Amino acid sequence: MTKPSDSVSAATSRSILLLSCAAFASIAAQRICDAMLPELSRVFSVSLGQAAQVVSVFAITYGVAQLMYGPLGDRLGKFRVVTFATLFCSVGCFISVLAASLDVLLFARFLTAMGTAALIPLAMAWVGDSVPNHRVQQMLTRTGLGNTLGLVFGQMMGGIITDAFGWRWCFVFLTLLFAVVGGFLWLDLRRQQLEARVQSEATPVQSVDPADNKPRANFIMQTLGIFKYPWARVVLGLALIEGAAVYGALAIYATHVHLKLGLSLTKSGAVVSVFGLGGVLFMVMARHLIPRLGQSGMALAGGLMIGAGGLLMALTPHWSLAALAVLLAGFGFFMFHNTMQANAAAMAPEARGTAVSLFASMLFLGQSVGVVLVGAFIGRLGSSVMIAIGGGVMVVLGVVFAWALRWRNSPLR
């Protein structure tokens, strides 16, 4: 797609808004189970570690599916794949409503993850294809806002709806949400196709670019080709560690507050949802922070803030300080992760969909590793230690990523 020279059209802005709504639904579906883990443990008569499989199965599936969606988006059209994947998610959520056992619920979460895996990475890649290079990071904050609000909603409403009506109603809402957002995406896709057809008919026939006749690499070769870039290997490796450290700890935040501080599921979910509000605060300040701090400054400050928030959460004896800790960690995470996203969107421009999807794959494969490790050691070490370890890893990661960015941009390199 040819990028506009200096501005983003109203039509493109509307499409980005819809992609942001899809990102909202994706993250809400991912995080809505966090606060309901104690209830699922009770209802299905399983341990907390077994109940946590609704998180880990989702994360593993989400990560592996990225390997398929990146090349698929590059071939069939990123917006088209996002549209039909969103509609498919409503099917998985509907099966969750009907689940009579933990195994059926795990299968439904598997299906939902297969669909949601397409939404955020292909939305990011579509933005990278559709707006000027100097506007990409700013536009990514808009899709990032959908991620953030979805995080707030998922963590908060997972507890509120479960306490008030039961866990099944969480999935009733998600079923309707995916169906509505998918419907609007389909209408916008039709608009894009119509505009492309009209433009094609109005444009004189031109000679074919020989590059268009080059054979396309198969899915596996196209994905492996991303690793030929040294910077891509750095970003993907850091994404794997980031996913394990942040999302592994985040999965037990609500359970930690519920068990250690004695709050209800509703209140625990509300406290943890402040993580997303930290992201909203970052989005508001992003246009000022990005040029002032630069990418290396954003990476370093973000890592330090996540570490400070994790340590405070692990040690605090009161819910108000826990909320402050989550806010700090949330602000730091979105500061760090926005910088990671901007680098992922630019690390292989000729296969942007594949590159961004591979980035998301590493992130969520890392999450699955983190959740599994937390589930394995939480009984021995306790939730406080696991949360503190996650924060400590992110401090180191922030320092390493900031150094790598400065080294990459150094004129003496």
pLDDT in tens, 157-168: 888 888 888 899
350 pLDDT tier (thresholds 50, 70, 90):
low
3-state SS of the chain? CCCCCCCCCHHHHHHHHHHHHHHHHHHHHHHCCCCCHHHHHHHCCCCHHHHCHHHHHHHHHHHHHHHHHHHHHHHHCHHHHHHHHHHHHHHHHHHHHHCCCHHHHHHHHHHHHHHHCCHHHHHHHHHHHHCCHHHHHHHHHHHHHHHHHHHHHHHHHHHHHHHHCCCHHHHHHHHHHHHHHHHHHHHHHHHHHHHHHHHHHHCCCCCCCHHHHCCCCCHHHHHHHHHHCHHHHHHHHHHHHHHHHHHHHHCCHHHHHHHHCCCCHHHHHHHHHHHHHHHHHHHHHHHHHHHHHHHHHHHHHHHHHHHHHHHHHHHCCCHHHHHHHHHHHHHHHHHHHHHHHHHHHHCCHHHHHHHHHHHHHHHHHHHHHHHHHHHHHHHHHCHHHHHHHHHHHHHHHHHHHHHHHHHHHCCCC
Whether the pLDDT of residue 228 is over 50: the answer is yes
170 pLDDT tier (thresholds 50, 70, 90):
very high
Q: Which domains does the chain have, with CATH numbers?
A: 10-199+218-409 (1.20.1250.20)
242 pLDDT tier (thresholds 50, 70, 90):
very high
pLDDT in tens, 308-339: 998 998 888 888 888 898 899 989 998 998 88
